[in-house]
């Protein structure tokens, strides 16, 4: 089917939203509550458009296309409504972009930029009561920047199924709470960081990354999480001059679709740890001495051969690991059973 957006004929498929078609054809549509993973929300009303035959402005993230639909995105009425949404959100929080951790990748900041909202035109809210919660080991919450989009709530509830976050209180006092309004560090949060990844603004940020580098200064390196056999896809945000990983985010593709566990997201200190093992060593006279791989492998093979020869194959046992590939675990099992002739093989994931 085809629809028309600002006079341009656009190919569309049944079930697609107007937002999806508009973006696929290069139109700018600001969104704050919509996220592909948390789905249609229709809360923030930043994505509105005029649609012929429909009363008032429609949220493009919720309206599905119909053949022949005529959509206006770039009208003064639409832009005025979008500017008002952004203006009200900027006015109702403490948006000190200069020092905000999200500066440069904030969706509210981007919407203000593209819509030409230079500063809040309403009296800025008194945010004295807004809580700053840094009780969690890995996540910092700043209520004064929260725009109540609900992406964190939907992510925690529906995507990772932890159900820690929800909206509490009512009206102007509405806020995101952990469990029964506990500090995050005292709640049932498992610190997976999914809510941080979904938050469009600086209301939820990774604690370890605070002050460690601006988004535009960090190199982005796509790789596979080193921890287990699931093989989650991650992006490392690297401070190249200091050769340090500053932050890890999940890539929104198979198998993890952006989700990570606490180890994958926050356990990234080991590559640059001063005590990290970087080469093989053999203990001689009580001291570990650096050797070549050939020497280390020859020494190990010789010791196994000698000990098994003296005491029989059952003195040998091997332990596989979830941190290596299936193929490596298979080779280890084959070596243990077919070469050493013992069934003493186990795996850390079995217990």
Considering the complex, state which of residue 166 and residue 239 has its C-beta at the smaller distance from ligand SF4: 166
CA distance 264 to 266: 6
Q: Tell whether residue 176 is a contact of ligand SF4 (CB under 6 A).
A: yes
- 């995101």: which residue's tokens? 176
Q: Tell whether residue 120 is a contact of ligand SF4 (CB under 6 A).
A: no
Compute the least distance from the CB of residue 79 to ligand SF4, in Å. Answer: 19
Q: Tell whether residue 203 is a contact of ligand SF4 (CB under 6 A).
A: yes
Considering the complex, state which of residue 193 and residue 320 has its C-beta at the smaller distance from ligand SF4: 193
CA distance 196 to 219: 20
Residue 32, by phi and psi: left (phi above 0), alpha (psi -120 to 50) or beta? alpha
CA distance 17 to 34: 12
| Residue among 10, 20, 47, 156 that touches ligand SF4 (CB under 6 A) | 156
Q: Tell whether residue 194 is a contact of ligand SF4 (CB under 6 A).
A: yes
| Residue among 83, 145, 237, 247 that touches ligand SF4 (CB under 6 A) | 145
Which residue from 302, 304, 226 is spatially nearest to 263, judged by alpha carbons?
A: 226
Q: Tell whether residue 181 is a contact of ligand SF4 (CB under 6 A).
A: no
Q: Tell whether residue 44 is a contact of ligand SF4 (CB under 6 A).
A: no
Considering the complex, state which of residue 122 and residue 330 has its C-beta at the smaller distance from ligand SF4: 122
Altogether, the residues listed in the chain come to a count of 351
Q: What is the 3-state secondary structure (H, E, C) of 27-59?
A: CCCCCCCCECCCECCCCCCCCEEEECCCCCCEE
Compute the least distance from the CB of residue 47 to ligand SF4, in Å. Answer: 15
Cis peptide before 42 (omega within 30 of 0): no
CA distance 200 to 100: 13
Compute the least distance from the CB of residue 37 to ligand SF4, in Å. Answer: 12
| Residue among 21, 108, 218, 245 that touches ligand SF4 (CB under 6 A) | 108
Range 106-110, long-range pairs (CB < 8 A, 24+ positions): 106/200, 106/201, 106/202, 107/30, 107/31, 107/32, 107/200, 107/201, 108/32, 108/147, 108/200, 108/201, 109/201, 110/30
Considering the complex, state which of residue 95 and residue 237 has its C-beta at the smaller distance from ligand SF4: 95
Contact map string, positions 68 to 107, toward ligand SF4, x by CB under 6 A: ---------------------------xxx--x-xx--x-
| Residue among 21, 22, 51, 155 that touches ligand SF4 (CB under 6 A) | 155
Compute the least distance from the CB of residue 77 to ligand SF4, in Å. Answer: 25
Classified as helix, coil or strand, 335 is: helix
Output the six-digit token pair for 168.
Answer: 């509490």
Q: Tell whether residue 191 is a contact of ligand SF4 (CB under 6 A).
A: yes
Residue 94, by phi and psi: left (phi above 0), alpha (psi -120 to 50) or beta? beta
Considering the complex, state which of residue 138 and residue 316 has its C-beta at the smaller distance from ligand SF4: 138
Q: Tell whether residue 260 is a contact of ligand SF4 (CB under 6 A).
A: no
Q: Tell whether residue 198 is a contact of ligand SF4 (CB under 6 A).
A: yes
Considering the complex, state which of residue 3 and residue 192 has its C-beta at the smaller distance from ligand SF4: 192
- 């010791």: which residue's tokens? 303
CA distance 62 to 40: 5
How many amino acids of this chain bind ligand SF4 (CB under 6 A)?
38
Q: Tell whether residue 46 is a contact of ligand SF4 (CB under 6 A).
A: no
Q: Which helix (H) or strand (E) segment is 246 a member of?
A: strand 244-250
Q: Tell whether residue 162 is a contact of ligand SF4 (CB under 6 A).
A: yes
What is the Cα gyration radius of the chain? 27
Q: Tell whether residue 152 is a contact of ligand SF4 (CB under 6 A).
A: yes
Q: Tell whether residue 148 is a contact of ligand SF4 (CB under 6 A).
A: yes
Q: How far is CA 196 from CA 18, 101, 107, in A?
A: 27, 12, 13
| Residue among 146, 205, 238, 259 that touches ligand SF4 (CB under 6 A) | 146
Please give the residue ranges that form the binding site for ligand SF4 (CB under 6 A). 95-97, 100, 102-103, 106, 108-109, 139, 145-152, 155-156, 160, 162, 164-165, 176, 189-195, 198-199, 201-204
């Amino acid at each position: 089917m085809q629809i028309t957006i600002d006079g341009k004929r656009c190919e569309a498929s049944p079930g697609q939203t107007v937002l999806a078609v508009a973006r696929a054809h290069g139109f700018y549509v600001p969104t704050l509550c919509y996220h592909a993973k948390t789905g249609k929300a229709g809360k923030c009303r930043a994505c509105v458009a005029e649609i012929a035959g429909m009363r008032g402005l429609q949220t493009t993230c919720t309206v599905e296309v119909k053949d022949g639909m005529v959509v206006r995105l770039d009208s003064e009425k639409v832009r005025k409504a979008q500017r008002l949404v952004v203006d009200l959100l900027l006015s109702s929080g403490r948006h000190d972009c200069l020092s905000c951790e999200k500066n440069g990748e904030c969706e509210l900041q981007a919407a203000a930029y593209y819509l030409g909202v230079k500063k809040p035109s309403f009296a800025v809210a008194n945010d004295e009561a807004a809580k700053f919660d840094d009780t969690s080991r890995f996540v910092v919450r700043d209520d004064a920047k929260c725009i109540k989009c609900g992406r964190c709530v939907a992510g925690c509830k529906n995507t990772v199924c932890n159900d820690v976050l929800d909206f509490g209180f009512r009206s102007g006092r509405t806020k995101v709470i952990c469990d029964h309004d506990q500090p995050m560090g005292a709640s049932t949060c498992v610190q997976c960081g999914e809510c941080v990844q979904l938050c469009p603004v600086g209301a939820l940020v990774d604690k370890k990354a605070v002050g460690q580098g601006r988004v535009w200064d960090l190199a982005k390196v796509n790789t596979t999480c080193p921890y287990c056999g699931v093989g989650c896809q991650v992006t490392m945000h690297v401070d190249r001059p200091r050769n340090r990983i500053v932050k890890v985010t999940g890539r929104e593709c198979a198998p993890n679709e952006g989700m990570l566990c606490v180890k994958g997201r926050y356990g990234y200190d080991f590559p640059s740890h001063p005590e990290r093992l970087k080469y093989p060593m053999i203990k001689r006279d009580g001291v570990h001495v650096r050797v070549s791989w050939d020497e280390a492998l020859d020494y190990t093979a010789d010791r196994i051969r000698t000990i098994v020869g003296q005491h029989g194959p059952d003195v040998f046992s091997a332990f596989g690991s979830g941190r290596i590939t299936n193929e490596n675990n298979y080779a280890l099992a084959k070596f243990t059973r077919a070469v050493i002739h013992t069934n003493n093989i186990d795996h850390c994931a079995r217990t």
